[in-house]
Structures are given as structure tokens and as C-alpha cells.
Structure 1
């Protein structure tokens, strides 16, 4: 659990948050309505900040107030894509990602502590998973534990919740796909809302993989372990792909069929399992016979909307598109509101954009 901070540490949180927002002391002072010298003293812990000032600072820097009053827990996993983002911007991205993940944990914890949200046992693979094949075994084990067999997963947020991990879709900064952590009996993850829905789904499955596989690599670990971390990420990726679309289903789509039949069947799989075309092809390719040109052409021929309609007559609503928080959590927020444990404003905040104030009927 996060602990309350001293004035020195509150000042340091303000400083780091200002830097992550790309503001100088003078720029922040102008926006908050303080002298620059006052901001300098605040950041060095030489001057206490009152509630009104801290609220203005939080608003200007776009962080929740709680971010400045408690220390963050250790982040277990932080997934970042390959990009041209510079190291300084990645550092800012890292700081904000951890802050948003910590804020999500605090909200989940609040509902648990209020007794309106029940945690589930964290599902951990009982064996080790040191390579891709063992990771796929872990994914199939989890599907069996959840009673899903090899069928499509309707709501990944709900499946993660049933496995013990609460996933939220939040506006992470550039350079971050998602992140997750475990705090005692609570596991949480965040996924970047700026990504297209298929990638959100893959990232959520990836963060679930860190939980299920018992991953111990932290994004804070220093140099010397990069190769090991990369190897581990590839293992977790294998888990995520198998969890979303079991290879046995992809295998059935390609056996003894010509190219157009394979394509037709893979389009159906991609739509019904709600995964990206590239993931679908990779799952089928892993069971292929080395026809490199065949699979390259298959990868390059990304289906159009018309092809989805032709194959299915419809295209499923992308998962994690309009949904921002998992179902049990959303119900817990409403119970807390009904029991007057939180205000409407707080409920809207905790729902992370899934509802708006005018959707609540107030008397």
C-alpha cells in the first residue's frame, strides 16, 4: 500500500511531475499563480503547500491530487513499442505511466476497502514458462481455468478480472502501450486508449501474461539485463497470442486448403476472435510448412471492411473500445455511489470517461 509522503517528498513529486509535463518552474508558476521562487521552495521542501495550491498544481500538471500525497508502488511490467521517441521523452512517458497506473490501483483499493468490490484469487501458472511453447501451455491452462476452452473471448476486461487483474483503458503518453503491477492481493493494469482497439486487446492480454506467468522483471531494473528482459517479453507475447487465439484454431483454418480458402477462414477467425490480422496470420504461420512467400503475401493482404462483411455479414464491435473499466469494478462504483460512499463527481472520475455526469439521474 502507498504511504503518505513527507514535505520533502511531496516537493520532489511536484518537481518530477512538472518535468514530465515539459514545464519550467517559471511556466508552472505563471499557470498556478505563484512566484517562481515559491515554486522552487515547494520543490525543495522548503515551503509547505496548502490544499488550494496543490489542487491548482495538480490541475495544471494534469495529475490526480492523490499522486502528490502518496508514493507509487513498484511497477512489474511496462510495455513500450519500438519508436523514435528520445530518451528524455521516454523518461517523461515512464513517469506519467506509473502515475496513472498508481492512481488506478488507488481507486481499485478504495472500492475494495469500502467493501463494495471483491477481489478474486490471482491465477498463476503452477509450472514455469521459460520459452514460447511453455507460455502457450500456460495460456491454454488459463483458458481452461476460466472455462473458455478454445472459444472466442467476448470481453477481455472481464476475463482479466476473473483472473484477478483489473484493467483500465486510460490516456497513456506516447511511448507506452500498457503497464501492470501486483500490490498484495490486488493486480491492476492500464492500456493506452490512444491505440486502435485490436492493439489494446493484445496489450491487455500481454499484461495479463505478466501476472499469470509470475513475471518478476521490473521496468526499473538497471542495465545488464536488457537481453533477458527482451527474451521474457517474447515469452509473454507468445502467451498473449495463444490466449487471444489458440493455434489449434488457426491450424484448422489452413490445413489442406488453397490460398483463397485460407484467407477466407483467417478473416473469419480475425473477426470472431477480435484480434489483429497480423496476429491471426502469425498464429496460423507458426503451424505452417515454410512457404515464406505464401505467408508474406497473406500478411500483406490486410482485409478490408467489405471483406469482413462478405465473410460474416457483420463485424463485431471492437473489444475495449467504448469500455474503459471492467464490469465488476463499474458495478462497485455504482454501489459506492448508491451507498453515498462517493459523490457523483468522484464516480465519474473513477469510471474514467465511460460515463458522463448527465448520465446519472439526480433527484
Structure 2
């Protein structure tokens, strides 16, 4: 079966469908994940730029799908074993499928610059500039010399406005959670399983106590 192409939506929602529940916290370490009974939880650093946050989230998904019981990306840049490299390859393909990049690259043959194609991809797929340039290199459409020049010239807001018409919408901002998680918390509140402060805490400030709906606890039938 062919997988759908095109950019992914909010990653917290996407990853929940694959059994990984995440949020974004104010910590230095890029990300960490934990597996329990087939389900996973992950935390992502909100201090990274939006494109990097999406990359880290999918990297943690890779560990989740490989059933790694615990993983932390703290200091991961210091060394990468074969397993990490495989997960990075998975992350590239998950966030920017080869077919999508190669299809977009056909515009270069029609006279569009390689840079404008990559700026458009970075905006639509909400990836860091470095990740898009590396993806083009790995797929053999951009040589390493040109890649070094492009990495030294990171696009500014004006570049995105000129090519894409707007700046990329940020994803995975502080306290982000997926829709399934939010519905589960609200269900727990409605059923009396959690207190109001705990519900607010679990939703990472997305709601205030005075915004919680009235509880509708059903009385037991005689």
C-alpha cells in the first residue's frame, strides 16, 4: 500500500497514533523517551528551534518503534552508533519522504533555483534548514560543496516570504500535547479520577481551573 505523501500535521497528534505520547518541556536535553507495556512517553526540549524539535520527536519515535525501553538524546551529538544512524535515516524519510523531495526538485530543471526549492520544502515540511540541505545531499541532488555554501547562508524571514509567502508555522511549542492525551485528561476529570489542579497540570497550562467543564458524574442505577 502506498503511503500518503506531503507534510505531516502537528506531530504530537501524529505520534500518538503510533503509541508515543509526548510533550515539550523547558529542559536543555533534546529529548528522552520511555517504553512501558507497549506504549511510550517522550519529552522534547522547547529550547531547540521548531524544526529541530520535530526532528527530535520523530527520532524518539524511532526508538519507540524499535521498542527501546529507555532512551535519552542528552549529548547524542557526541557519538552515533549504527542504531542511531538507522533511526536518523528513518527520521529523514518520515519527515521528508524521498519522493516528495525528488518531485519538488524537478522544478530545478525548469529554471527554479535549488535554494528556492529547499526554502519551500523547509517551510512546507517545517524542517530545519540544515535537515533539508542534508536530505538533498543524501538523495544525490545536491553536492557537498554547494551544501556547505547553503548551510552558511541560513534563510531569514524575508526568504520564506519571497518563496513560500509566509513564515513556517511553529510546531511542538512548550507544553504541547496530542488530542488523545487532552481528551483522556478531560475524561479523567469528568469521571472524578483527577482533581482540578491535577487536570490543569496534566494539560501543561492549556486550560485554567475556572475553564474546566462541570462534572457530570452518573449516579448508579438501582
Of 98, 103, 107, 1:247 maps to 98
Cα-Cα RMSD: 2.7
Rounded Cα–Cα distance in structure 1 between residues aligned with 2:7 and 2:141: 26
Cα 1:182–1:361 change in 2 (3 A) is closer
Aligned to 2:20: 165
Q: Residue 88 of structure 2 corresponds to which residue in structure 1?
A: 237
Do residues 195 (structure 1) and 48 (structure 2) align?
Answer: yes
CA 1:260–1:170 in structure 2 vs 1: closer, same or farther (change >3 Å)?
Answer: same
Distance in 2 separating the partners of 1:218 and 1:196: 21
> Is residue 190–residue 214 contact of structure 2 (8 Å, CA) maintained in 1?
no
Name 2:191's counterpart in structure 1: 339
Contact 1:253 1:262 in 2 (8 A): no
Q: Using the TM superposition, give the Cα deviation of residue 236 of structure 1 relative to its aligned residue in structure 2, in angstroms.
A: 0.9
- Given candidates 178, 200, 203, the residue that maps to 1:326 is 178
1-structure distance, mates of 2:121, 2:167: 11
2: CA distance, partners of 1:169 / 1:312: 27
- TM-superposed deviation, 1:213: 3.2
The equivalent of 1:181 in structure 2 is: 34
User: What is the Cα deviation at residue 197 of structure 1?
Assistant: 1.8
| TM-score using structure 2 length | 0.82
Superposition map of 1:13-162 within 5 A: 149-162=4-17
The unaligned stretches of length 5 or more in structure 1 are 1-140, 220-225
Task: Provide the C-alpha distance between the structure 2 equivalents of 1:218 and 1:310, rounded to a whole number of angstroms.
Answer: 40
| Corresponding residue of 2:154 | 302
Q: Distance in 1 between matches of 2:107 and 2:85?
A: 30
Question: Where does residue 206 of structure 1 map in the other structure?
Answer: 59
2:122 matches 1:270: yes
SS in 1 for 2:108: coil
Compared CA separation, residues 309 and 335, structure 1 to 2 (3 A): same
> TM-score of the superposition, structure 1-length normalised?
0.52
Q: Deviations over 1:95-129 (max 9, x none)?
A: xxxxxxxxxxxxxxxxxxxxxxxxxxxxxxxxxxx
Q: Secondary structure at the match of 2:52?
A: helix
Corresponding position of 2:144 = 292
Q: Which whole-Å CA distance do the structure 2 matches of 1:310 and 1:289 have between them?
A: 23
What number of residue pairs does the alignment pair up? 209
| CA pair 256-305 structure 1, distance change in 2 beyond 3 A | closer
Name the structure, 1 or 2, with higher relative contact order (CA <8 Å, separation 6+): 2
Deviation digits for residues 132-190 of structure 1 (CA, Å, limit 9, x no counterpart): xxxxxxxxx9xx6xxx5221101111111001111111233x3x111112111321111
Cα distance between partner residues in 2 of 1:201 and 1:261: 26
Runs of 4+ in 1 over 3 A off after TM superposition: 213-219, 253-256, 356-363
Whole-angstrom CA distance in 2 between matches of 1:152 and 1:256 = 18
Asked if the contact 2:185/2:199 (under 8 Å) is kept, the reply is yes
The range that moved more, 279-288 or 258-267, is 258-267
